[in-house]
Structure 1
């Protein structure tokens, strides 16, 4: 939703068949996991470039932080409004085809941004690009969860999050080399999105299959009552991810950093994500996940409160962002592991739909606060 994402889910309102059925043979399952994770890693690089790119370009155009935040919120709005239509597309084209369509749509949309400087056209394009992002994250995360073995789900989800975060961390670094001006950064992002098709092609036949005779019937909103800690953790993750990714470079510039140094703050945040997801995932396979989410959430709030006090420092600011990035992403990792441990089949699909809803609420609030 991750923008990352969206959760591993096909639908927020319409019933959806669960993926999987009979377990895939180990070689096919591994091939599918590798293909799905490689696909989203490449897309993560492109997404890691777009967050600071849009923020800096809009800031250069004289737009306020609120208007820049609104631009980031369009991605979350797209996920919330278009998710109900995704199951029909998946049933028609299959999971691998669904991912391929998202990659192509993302590439084409990114190529349209340099054709206009209109803020309002950019809002529309960000909505469309958000649809492509949602498709890729929904598809890839569903694939990973469906093919993960019981007892190692935390480690698999942690590995997925780590590799995705490496892509996010590389994005801003590549952007500083490519530059912010002209069409070049948009073309580079579009090319990376299109490269997602390569790993998909190698794993096409290993995608989990859908079964239309088994549908999810539990209302997703029920999980806000039965799993408030999970939903709250995901909302906090969505708010921080969208809000920080959209506005952190602008905040850095306003505190006196140059553009490249402000952009590097995102890389520090994401590197914390990279370092902590596998350990947190492994702990989530064994520890009380509810208390882990509470602990991560409280620490994230304290780190956020400390940032203004650290604005004129370097290493302390980087350390706070590192911890913040790792633990806030850990909220999402632990939440997925918890839902996977509690629910199966059609019920898990509905639970994932509730995660999309919670993530979308947080993602809409984050850039606007």
Structure 2
């Protein structure tokens, strides 16, 4: 379990670094926010393209071998990104980065859910989400030390990708094979089994991708320095890291659905207060809580996935989660970027608020 969590955490360091790093570089080049959002959407598009192939690849190649291969290929892709500084060249490279990152998350979460005892599922998956989110927080935080110019920030990302492969190699002898009991289920077939879970994953992904890729643009519009904005992004992801364990315990006590409704209400509150609080000290606790509850939507979905599905359906469910995550990230960034172009910087909280409202309406409708 420790090896599985460590693997994804190190991988998350590299991914958490690339989103704000590339957005800040493009912002300096004078690229419009809509195009910055479109560029950021290429990574989740890679998630979407790779998701249908993961169940078969993991059974054929083996989970550990596939994870190690993806770590190496992701590192090479980031090297290629560092060599180029042109928005159009980054489009296919960022797509490849998502394509190679996705199998690692699907495989690791399948391993983890398979070995997690049901009575402690909430706290263990909350712990998993917290530690992985801490990896995401280290990514943008490292920009405060390495800066956003030249090779230093890219070297951090490449090193993290390679370290991920080394961790998998070290724990490979004790890793489980992918579960094969039950009937094979396709990613498309899983959509009919749990549409609301996938909608929640979509919402969590869009929320996170919009924040990571466009919050820097929002901060620049309000005159915030790059380092302060990068620190606020780190605070957002730190909220992910710290709050998943208590949210997991809440899911064990009150149920994952009720806890998800609570997360939606806090997301909406953050959208309403963002503009008022941005220039005050209140922005720090607001962004912290915002980050925790927005990613909590994914944690609650993951808990329910483990409660409801096993075997090959579980693999398909994890791959479908990755597909929905990719759709959310790909759609969220360019739509929010376009909203910011059309209505100004307040298009960011407006987009996030409408997204949260939509999920809340469907969730309440299903409970009735």
TM-score, with normalisation over the residues of structure 2? 0.86
* Contact 2:181–2:311 (CA under 8 A) maintained in structure 1: no
Equivalent runs, 1:249-260 vs 2, <5 Å: 249-260=216-227
Q: CA deviation at 1:164?
A: 0.9
Q: 1:260 to 1:55 in 2, by over 3 A?
A: same
Q: 2:311 aligns with which of 345, 354, 358?
A: 345
Number of residue equivalences: 335
Q: CA deviation at 1:197?
A: 2.4
Q: Does 1:193 align with 2:161?
A: yes
Q: Does 1:165 align with 2:127?
A: no
Task: Please report the RMSD computed on the Cα atoms of aligned residues, expressed in angstroms.
Answer: 1.9
- Counterpart-to-counterpart distance in 2, 1:177 and 1:300: 30
* Contact 2:70–2:103 (CA under 8 A) maintained in structure 1: yes
* Contact 1:114–1:183 (CA under 8 A) maintained in structure 2: yes
Equivalent runs, 1:147-166 vs 2, <5 Å: 147-166=115-134
- Counterpart-to-counterpart distance in 2, 1:340 and 1:254: 42
* Contact 1:229–1:290 (CA under 8 A) maintained in structure 2: no
* Contact 2:200–2:297 (CA under 8 A) maintained in structure 1: yes
Q: 2:83 aligns with which of 96, 112, 115?
A: 115
Q: Which residue pairs with 2:361 in the alignment?
A: none
Q: CA deviation at 1:214?
A: 4.5
- Counterpart-to-counterpart distance in 2, 1:341 and 1:87: 20
Equivalent runs, 1:99-114 vs 2, <5 Å: 99-114=67-82
* Contact 1:221–1:354 (CA under 8 A) maintained in structure 2: no
- Superposed CA deviations along residues 190-220 of structure 1, whole A, max 9, x for unmatched, are 0111011232122101222136574423664
Q: Which residue pairs with 2:352 in the alignment?
A: none
- Counterpart-to-counterpart distance in 2, 1:108 and 1:242: 23
- Superposed CA deviations along residues 263-289 of structure 1, whole A, max 9, x for unmatched, are 111111011111110111122123222
Q: Which residue pairs with 1:26 in the alignment?
A: none
Q: CA deviation at 1:255?
A: 1.0
Q: Which residue pairs with 2:200 in the alignment?
A: 233
Equivalent runs, 1:153-302 vs 2, <5 Å: 153-210=121-178, 214-217=182-185, 220=188, 223=191, 227-302=194-269
Equivalent runs, 1:9-48 vs 2, <5 Å: 33-48=1-16
Q: Which residue pairs with 1:367 in the alignment?
A: 333
Q: CA deviation at 1:228?
A: 4.5
Q: Which residue pairs with 2:277 in the alignment?
A: 310
* Contact 1:220–1:353 (CA under 8 A) maintained in structure 2: no
- Counterpart-to-counterpart distance in 1, 2:13 and 2:35: 25
* Contact 2:49–2:99 (CA under 8 A) maintained in structure 1: no
- Superposed CA deviations along residues 321-354 of structure 1, whole A, max 9, x for unmatched, are 1111000111111111112112222333343344
- Counterpart-to-counterpart distance in 2, 1:329 and 1:89: 28
Q: Does 1:358 align with 2:324?
A: yes
- Counterpart-to-counterpart distance in 1, 2:136 and 2:181: 38
Please say which of residues 268-277 and 299-308 is displaced more in the overlay.
299-308
Equivalent runs, 1:104-143 vs 2, <5 Å: 104-143=72-111
Q: Which residue pairs with 2:28 in the alignment?
A: 60
- Counterpart-to-counterpart distance in 2, 1:38 and 1:91: 22
Which structure shows the higher helix fraction?
Answer: 2
Q: 1:56 to 1:272 in 2, by over 3 A?
A: same
Q: Does 1:328 align with 2:297?
A: no
Q: CA deviation at 1:114?
A: 2.4
- Counterpart-to-counterpart distance in 2, 1:346 and 1:213: 6
- Counterpart-to-counterpart distance in 2, 1:292 and 1:228: 18
Q: CA deviation at 1:63?
A: 0.6
* Contact 2:235–2:287 (CA under 8 A) maintained in structure 1: yes
Q: CA deviation at 1:189?
A: 0.8
* Contact 1:96–1:200 (CA under 8 A) maintained in structure 2: yes
- Counterpart-to-counterpart distance in 2, 1:52 and 1:84: 28
- Counterpart-to-counterpart distance in 2, 1:76 and 1:67: 15
